[in-house]
Amino acid sequence: MSESDSQQQIAVVLPDGSELEVDADATVEDCAYEIGPGLGRDTVAGKLDGELVAKEEPVYDGVELEIVTDQSDEYLRVMRHSAAHCLAQAVERHYDDVDLAIGPPTDEGFYYDFDNLDVDEEDLAELEAEMEAIIEEDYDIEREVVSIDEAEERLADEPYKLELLSEFAEEDETVTFYSQGEWEDLCAGPHVDSTGEIGAVKLLEIAGAYWRGDEDNTMQTRIYGTAFEDESDLEDFLERKQEAEKRDHRRIGNEMDLFSIQDVTGPGLPLYHPAGKTVLKELEDFVETLNKEAGYDYVETPHVFKTDLWHQSGHYENYQDDMFIFDVGDDEFGLKPMNCPGHAAIFQDHSWSYRDLPIRYAENGKVYRKEQRGELSGLSRVWAFTIDDGHLFIRPDQIKREVEEIMDMITDVLETFDLEYEMALATRPEKSVGSDEIWERAEDQLESVLEAHGHEYEIEEGDGAFYGPKIDFAFEDAIGRSWDGPTVQLDFNMPERFDLNYVGEDNEEHRPVMIHRALYGSYERFFMMLIEHYEGRFPLWLAPEQVRVLPISDDNLGYAHRVANEFDDFRVEVDGRDSTLERKIRAAHDDRVPYQIIVGDNEEADGTISVRDRFEDQEYDVEIDEFRSHLEAERDEQRTEPDFLQ
Ligand SMILES: [Zn+2]
Ligand SMILES: [Zn+2]
């Protein structure tokens, strides 16, 4: 067969790294059939270089291809997108003159945004029933490729869709529509084959959302929902969601008077009240102890720098849209989005010998990042937050020892809060700075640290930053939610940009390696996670109020204060209100105080106390000294639960 009469072939890369030769015009589905007819039939969608696409999409030479079937992790996403379409179809069946905006799947479900739609929570049940009917009717979901002109005609009554279309028209000559029954939508897909494939659906809430997330645009109506393969998965999800709502840090933060975020002070700018700052202070002290033991020196840098610094560090180029930038006279300044350049500038201000290294700087550094207003939420997404930041400047031969030390500190933190964790090593990406030698040396050392650490880890090939490999931690909270945790990031780039040097044993100048590390990450996110993890019932060492003394009657008030004085090494309060004991107990319980000391005539006569914990266990005739030494031990050992009565 000669070259000219064979169709041109291309190669796609499969997940196991092998290559598959296919015709140049092959689609995702064709590739699946090429692998095997069973897989071909089961194909729902595909991933091209990690991006989820319809199975009808053509592949291209060298692309990494993954086939998505109903067994894939991505399947839920595809099904939820189809569920979003069912929602829009249901809405249009029940309401006239609604304008459709966008309706994507999310990590937990889906939403669809509408304009000119007047609904409230009571209407959701009716819409849900309509969605169930659409699912029951089992419409085929059909994909159609349409020219821009034809799309314009079809979307004549949909101003938002037309706006999207005009953007697609700049790049493509055709767009795709997906239809089910009488309803269709401009949509890139992918979708399941028919509405009947959608398992169980639930509409969750209604919220306002700006068109394209921009507060200068119209506020639209967003309906959130979720979908699962079956009823029991949905039930599990709803239970977890309810548990998460019970633990919502915004509600608990308000009940315990920990923090507030107010309109007058600005969005995403948390204010810590005394109780909240008490917890934060304990968290700060804890890392400070770890930092001091590990030989860190504390430094302090201002909140604002001239943007010259951000030009030098490279943040200006890559980050300026997320920065707060302003002019003062002829100079431009910016609130710092990161602490690293300030620390690099401190290092640069000295000359160093190889014997001085490692240099370790620590700072509880406040940073500012301009997230979209619509994305701000409690302490989880904010404009101002504090990183328990640390930067090390080390010789390449010191990577292993230093990373080992940091890993010990991180695991110490996670174990202290009873958090199960996972680790991953992210290695060199295709585009990177730094020599082969330094990358190999660094990755080898990181791997040997991980091996020695003895905890399982994954290798995320090519997932490192362009400037260095990193170790990522993820941890799980009390209700099984997973969170991004601390990181250890090596950096070969910033030392170049800041021209950092030390004089080696050979009397020549050498580049140090920089390490960025945080044990909590951001205090805000960690605090939020802890509030939800403990449901506000902090361990004794963190609790804003550790002990509350409850006199049974006013007659015992004097004794109550004398007892409180015996615990003045703790955060102790006396409930001196004229109220019944039951009410005082209830209030201490609601305030999540770890221990209550109850004193009445009997205790006063014997010089003893009664102790009650938040599990409602109570013990009488306790010696003051005995309880105090228990409290000291419980606090200093940072036990996670009050355990005097356990
Ligand atoms: Zn869609
Ligand atoms: Zn840094």
275 CA to centre of ligand 2 in angstroms? 29
517 CA to centre of ligand 2 in angstroms? 7
DSSP assignment string, 500-524:
--EE-TTSSEEPPEEEEEEEEEEHH
Tokens in use for 296? 């860190």
271 CA to centre of ligand 2 in angstroms? 25
Q: Which ligand is the nearest neighbour of the Cα of 187?
A: 1
pLDDT band of residue 301 (cuts 50, 70, 90) is very high
- The span from the CA of 55 to the CA of 52, in Å, is 9
pLDDT score of 209: 92
- Ligand 2 ion local residues (Cβ < 5 A): 340, 516
646 CA to centre of ligand 1 in angstroms? 55
300 CA to centre of ligand 2 in angstroms? 14
CA 236 to chain centre: 22
- The span from the CA of 574 to the CA of 587, in Å, is 12
- The span from the CA of 539 to the CA of 631, in Å, is 11
Say if residue 45 is exposed, middle or buried (CB neighbours under 10 Å; 0-12, 13-18, 19+). Answer: buried
195 CA to centre of ligand 1 in angstroms? 13
Q: Which residue has the tokens 């270089």?
A: 49
Residue 37 confidence (pLDDT) above 50: yes
Average pLDDT, integer, range 342-354:
96
pLDDT band of residue 563 (cuts 50, 70, 90) is very high
Annotated binding site: 340, 391, 516
Q: Which residue has the tokens 């645009």?
A: 217
107 CA to centre of ligand 1 in angstroms? 16
Residue 556 confidence (pLDDT) above 90: yes
Assess contact for 169 and 129: CB atoms under 8 A.
no
pLDDT score of 466: 86
**Residue pLDDT, tens place only, 230-251:** 999 999 999 999 998 999 999 9
Average pLDDT, integer, range 314-329:
90
- The span from the CA of 142 to the CA of 339, in Å, is 51
88 CA to centre of ligand 1 in angstroms? 10
Q: Which ligand is the nearest neighbour of the Cα of 488?
A: 2
39: closest CA among 29, 48, 49?
A: 29
**Residue pLDDT, tens place only, 622-641:** 999 999 999 999 999 998 88
Average pLDDT, integer, range 23-39:
95
Residue 124 confidence (pLDDT) above 60: yes
164 CA to centre of ligand 1 in angstroms? 12
339: closest CA among 445, 231, 234, 494?
A: 494
594 CA to centre of ligand 1 in angstroms? 50
Number of helices followed by number of strands (H, E) in the chain? 20, 32
Q: Which ligand is the nearest neighbour of the Cα of 516?
A: 2
Mean pLDDT, rounded, of the chain: 94
pLDDT band of residue 6 (cuts 50, 70, 90) is low
**Residue pLDDT, tens place only, 525-544:** 999 999 999 999 999 999 99
Beta strand 297-298 with 359-368 is parallel
- The span from the CA of 127 to the CA of 137, in Å, is 15
370 CA to centre of ligand 1 in angstroms? 29
**Residue pLDDT, tens place only, 95-119:** 999 999 999 999 899 999 999 999 9
Q: Which ligand is the nearest neighbour of the Cα of 177?
A: 1
**Percent of the chain at pLDDT exceeding 90:** 85
pLDDT score of 2: 43
429 CA to centre of ligand 2 in angstroms? 19
584 CA to centre of ligand 1 in angstroms? 55
Q: Which ligand is the nearest neighbour of the Cα of 315?
A: 2
237 CA to centre of ligand 1 in angstroms? 23
179 CA to centre of ligand 1 in angstroms? 10
**Residue pLDDT, tens place only, 426-466:** 999 988 888 888 899 889 989 989 998 888 899 999 989 88
**DSSP symbol at 492:** S
Tokens in use for 619? 């013990």
Q: Which ligand is the nearest neighbour of the Cα of 487?
A: 2
pLDDT score of 480: 83
pLDDT band of residue 5 (cuts 50, 70, 90) is very low
Annotated binding site for Zn(2+): 340, 391, 516
455: closest CA among 494, 492, 411, 491?
A: 411
382 CA to centre of ligand 1 in angstroms? 30
DSSP assignment string, 435-448:
-HHHHHHHHHHHHH
Tokens in use for 190? 């992918």
Q: Which ligand is the nearest neighbour of the Cα of 164?
A: 1
Q: pTM value?
A: 0.79
Q: Which ligand is the nearest neighbour of the Cα of 102?
A: 1
Residue 1 confidence (pLDDT) above 50: no
Q: Which ligand is the nearest neighbour of the Cα of 388?
A: 2
pLDDT score of 4: 45
Q: Where are the alpha helices (DSSP H) in 36-146?
A: 37-42, 75-94, 124-137
570 CA to centre of ligand 2 in angstroms? 36
Q: Which ligand is the nearest neighbour of the Cα of 178?
A: 1
514 CA to centre of ligand 2 in angstroms? 9
CA 4 to chain centre: 54
Q: Around 35, how many Cα atoms within 13 Å sit in the side-chain half-sphere?
A: 23
pLDDT band of residue 643 (cuts 50, 70, 90) is confident
176 CA to centre of ligand 1 in angstroms? 10
